[in-house]
Amino acid sequence: MSAPRSGPLARAGMAIADACERFFPDAFVFALAAVLCVFALGLFLGETPVRLVTEFGGSFWSLVPFTMQMALVIIGGFVVASAPPVARLIARLAAIPKTPRGAVAFVALFAMLASLLSWGLSLIFTGLLVREVSRRIERVDYRAMGAAAYLGLGSVWALGLSSSAALLQASPAAIPAALLPVTGVIPLSQTIFLWQSLALAAVLVAVSVAVAWLSCPHPDQARTASEMGIRFEPLVIEKSVARTPGERLDMNPLPAVAVALLMALYLGFQVSEKGFTAAVDLNNFNMAFLALGLLLHGRPRSFLQAVGRSVPATAGVLIQFPFYAGVFGLISKTAIAATLADLFVTLTTRGTFPVVVAIYSAVLGLFVPSGGGKWIIEAPYVMAAASAWKVHLGWTVQIYNAAEALPNLLNPFWMLPLMGILNVRARDLAGYSILQLLFHLPIVLLLCWLFAWTLPYVPPQIPVP
């Protein structure tokens, strides 16, 4: 009797995944390749080697604060998830799917819905959910499920509440002075809460879950976590007994709870002064998770043990972000940015503008994988062209947001935190994420173009001083 065969989409997913395991380089190689490619482009455009080397080195450490923020996203998420109450919640969620195919689809849906609230929440919690599901369900393909956990960052995150570009454009104080006359202030009602944006997000979620379901390999053909040599320790650390006065202080909940309450009080002040959307930045996001971790663990020793177990997952972020910062400097501080801007404006018309914006933003995202930082580079000329062609400015922001997520399915930059949690390499996840990209790309281009015709142009709304 022949073994059961997987469907055509599952076979395609396995084929791409197998090819990626053979030919897809490590995420660090992507960072080095980006440096060399952009450096070569600078030379081609007439920049001197000395100028390029200077801008690369001068920008190398410019993302140190952001690097620390990203490391703390991982640490804070792991600390919260490893607290007994949250670990029990993750275990309950992991018990919902009953089959390998259902598990992959469930993880995909959870990742995308969570990313609409917070990409950091999606990345960490869904990664820990995958670890728990893989322990419970036999013969589930670990590569397919890991790629499903990444779908929040690779599909709809920028269409939700953590959209860097939309939040920046809605906050007058955050918009650079040179950009404000070009774009004006664009409220969230004209970006992420447009019905067109909500419809685009809903379509992407539905398609992504369907692809995840259909591409999941048959159990007989799956590669499980154990077959990949991956083993996980339980999230919750067993309680120890204090034997000395010093250990009793380590396990006394009073200091941890008191400091956590102070942190919570500060966050409350931030929300009351700025409003919720303006207060939800990476610093406050990380503080909220650390405060919640202190409260949930209750004891300093338990909290620090959880931190220690999370630190190895930050290795990729710590070493690779400086190289991407150098790429950012090479593009933004040399003739490359101006050349791209001129080329962009030259190639667009009213009809082609939405599609060109989407393709351009996706391509540039391969080299500058930062939603907020890249928007500062693009916004001056993209939004000026939008006004020239009378395209809705808020929808232009959403075109950028939808397209900006596409390169995440190929570039392992944002995979790094998830890779650390799942103990995998970029090549392990790339096959199934590339399969999703083949579906996402035409959908994003079509809907960005189609919905652009449904919105009237409104001139920049510049606040009166």
Nearest CA-CA partner of 386 in 452, 450, 436, 338 = 452
| More confident of the two residues 224 and 313 | 224
Instruction: Compute the distance between CA of residue 183 and CA of residue 162 in angstroms, rounded to an integer.
Output: 20
- The residue whose two tokens read 């500060």 is 266
Mean pLDDT across the stretch 19-37?
Answer: 78
Instruction: Compute the distance between CA of residue 205 and CA of residue 407 in angstroms, rounded to an integer.
Output: 17
Q: Each residue of 430-456: pLDDT tens digit?
A: 888 889 999 999 999 999 999 999 999
Question: Does residue 189 carry a pLDDT above 80?
Answer: yes
pLDDT for residue 443: 96
Mean pLDDT, all residues of the chain: 84
| More confident of the two residues 74 and 91 | 91
Residue type, 260: A
Question: Does residue 250 carry a pLDDT above 70?
Answer: no
The most confident of the ranges 78-82, 152-156, 354-358 is 354-358
- The residue whose two tokens read 């259902």 is 102
Instruction: Compute the distance between CA of residue 72 and CA of residue 58 in angstroms, rounded to an integer.
Output: 25
| More confident of the two residues 448 and 369 | 448
Write out the two tokens for 363.
């391509």
Concatenating the DSSP letter of every residue in 50-62 gives HHHHHHHHHHTTT
Range of weakest confidence among 115-124, 241-250, 339-348: 241-250
Phi, psi angles (nearest 5°) of residue 165 = -65, -45
Question: Does residue 45 carry a pLDDT above 60?
Answer: yes
Question: Does residue 102 carry a pLDDT above 70?
Answer: yes
Angle at 397 between CA 358 and CA 448, to 5 degrees: 45
How far is CA 370 from its chain centroid? 9
> Using 50, 70 and 90 to split pLDDT, how confident is the model at 142?
very high
pLDDT for residue 239: 62
Instruction: Judge whether 85 and 380 are in contact, CB under 8 Å.
Output: no
| More confident of the two residues 166 and 97 | 97
pLDDT for residue 453: 95
Buried b (16+ CB within 10 A) or exposed e, 400-414: bbbbbbbbbbbbbbb
pLDDT for residue 414: 74
Question: Does residue 30 carry a pLDDT above 80?
Answer: no
> Using 50, 70 and 90 to split pLDDT, how confident is the model at 354?
very high
Report the percent of the chain where pLDDT is more than 90. 31
Whole-prediction pTM value?
A: 0.80
Question: Does residue 1 carry a pLDDT above 50?
Answer: no
Instruction: Judge whether 288 and 267 are in contact, CB under 8 Å.
Output: yes
Question: Does residue 168 carry a pLDDT above 80?
Answer: no
pLDDT for residue 278: 64
Range of weakest confidence among 29-43, 147-161, 317-331: 317-331
pLDDT for residue 291: 93
Question: Does residue 240 carry a pLDDT above 70?
Answer: no
| More confident of the two residues 130 and 67 | 130
DSSP state of 184: B
Q: Each residue of 283-341: pLDDT tens digit?
A: 887 888 899 999 998 888 888 888 888 887 777 778 887 887 888 788 778 888 778 76
pLDDT for residue 169: 84
Question: In which element (H, E) is residue 194 found?
Answer: none
Instruction: Compute the distance between CA of residue 328 and CA of residue 57 in angstroms, rounded to an integer.
Output: 11
Mean pLDDT across the stretch 194-202?
Answer: 96
Range of weakest confidence among 42-56, 143-157, 241-255, 312-326: 241-255
3-state SS assignment for residue 298 = coil
User: Going by C-beta distance under 8 Å and a sequence separation of 6 or more, which residues neighbour residue 181?
Assistant: 460, 462
pLDDT for residue 2: 47
| More confident of the two residues 39 and 366 | 39
Question: Does residue 241 carry a pLDDT above 80?
Answer: no
Write out the two tokens for 102.
């259902």
- Give the count of alpha carbons within 13 A of 143, CB side only: 32
Instruction: Compute the distance between CA of residue 323 and CA of residue 333 in angstroms, rounded to an integer.
Output: 15
Question: Does residue 4 carry a pLDDT above 60?
Answer: no
> Using 50, 70 and 90 to split pLDDT, how confident is the model at 92?
very high
pLDDT for residue 64: 81
> Using 50, 70 and 90 to split pLDDT, how confident is the model at 243?
low
pLDDT for residue 208: 95
